[in-house]
Amino acid sequence: MKVTAVVLAAGQGTRMKSDLPKVLHPLCGKPMIWHVLEALKKVSTEKPVVVVGHGAEQVKDYVADSAVCVEQEPQLGTAHAALQAEAIVKGKTDYVIITYADMPLLPADVFQRLIETQRVNPGPLTLVTVIAEDPRGFGRIVRNARGTVEAIVEEYVAAPEQLAIKELNVGAYCFKSDWLWDALHRIEKNPQKGEYYLTDIVELAVKENLPVQAVVHEDLIETIGINTRIHLAEAEAAMRERINRQHMLNGVTMMDPVSTYIEASVMIGKDTVILPNTYIQGKTVIGEHCSIGPNSHIRDSQIGNGCKVFMSVMEGAVLEDEVDMGPFARLRSGAHLGKHVHMGNFGEVKDSYLAEGVKMGHFSYIGNATIGANTNIGAGTITCNYDGEKKNPTEIGEDVFIGSDTMLVAPLKIGDGAKTGAGAVVTKNVAPETLVVGMPARAIKKVERKVKKH
């Protein structure tokens, strides 16, 4: 059985009042069309078709190879949009799912139920409906005495008794492919709107005495169609709750899920605790037995097992196992902290590697540096890495002691076991096991290297 999804994404979305195409507005870190395609990918067998229109090039650029894009020009309604997929899909699949790119909360299991219901339906189509007190402008489902769907009546033309109907059309359909395309060609233009509406296809099936079935979905929130920023915020809240719930079911503790923001692409290991007011975004992977937050912001970062990130910021950084950092620490792009590194308050690291056991207590900046194992970085240490034209590297060996308020003027190499006095300004390389002091720093004696065993 071959199943192909057709996603309608050509609408202008004028009520969003935005230069960005509506279907590219982000929802928990991913454009809403991404969520739709991810759900469909789990139930369809063929590459989906996305019908684009307004903002076509931007949508095509985003979709790329994940779907086949076809343009609707001019935009003459939803039935006309679906027809644009005919040349690509006709004769190549058994069933066609048609849905909208602005309905990102419909989960894969609803589409699966839709397909399974249509497989046993002798008629040509099955659609998804929902029972709701607030119609939100959806079309009403009119059923006949046999219980099958007789019509979808749009709200603007519905009679008072039809407006009282609580069963609503969601906007997700499954068709027998060999019936669909001829039926789409037979839909007539709506005289009031001047467009061709997909909902009119139900009438064609009924006239042929073919049953139209419906899958009733019980979760109203998951049927949200996004037309305004208000709808987007509602969907965001629902998606956040879904994501957080799944993490908790997988063994993650959240002290306050409502104040915890985790994007769709994030992965978190079991027995990790996420504390309130924490934002975890992008391609972030967090290991097991970690404590993250409160008030932490992590984006596109990798965190090993047993780490503690307390009131801190990470952007494109890596923590190996058993690292603790914060409060008010910041790791910028390219920061890599090895196992058992400690980074205290008001420290910042960028494009640097701190090897196992490094201690960087507080009020320090490390940039474009490599620091050997078990080195101590005193408070107020600065790697002066920028000379006004380029960034220069600093190399610090193992078991080094950098005194408080040391200025390390790159390019610079400091050998294993060396020490700097408090307030030293180091402008020249330092030999291993040497103490330097002063401004500019000068060597005064050899020192005994103390090797730490972790």
Active site residue 336: no
How many CB atoms neighbour CB 172 within 10 A? 24
In 301-386, DSSP assigns E strands to 302-303, 308-309, 313-315, 318-319, 324-325, 330-331, 336-337, 342-343, 348-350, 353-354, 359-360, 365-367, 369-371, 376-377, 382-384
**Is 192 exposed, middle or buried, given 0-12, 13-18 or 19+ CB atoms closer than 10 A?**
exposed
Asked if residues 265 and 248 have their Cβ atoms less than 8 Å apart, the reply is: no
433 SS3 class: coil
Phi, psi of 245 (to 5 degrees): -60, -45
Q: Is 258 exposed, middle or buried (0-12, 13-18, 19+ CB in 10 A)?
A: exposed
Catalytic residue (choose from 185, 342, 362, 454):
362
What contacts 258, CB < 8 A, 6 or more positions away?
none
Beta strand segments in 56-143, E:
68-71, 95-100, 125-131, 140-143
Residues labelled as active-site residues? 362
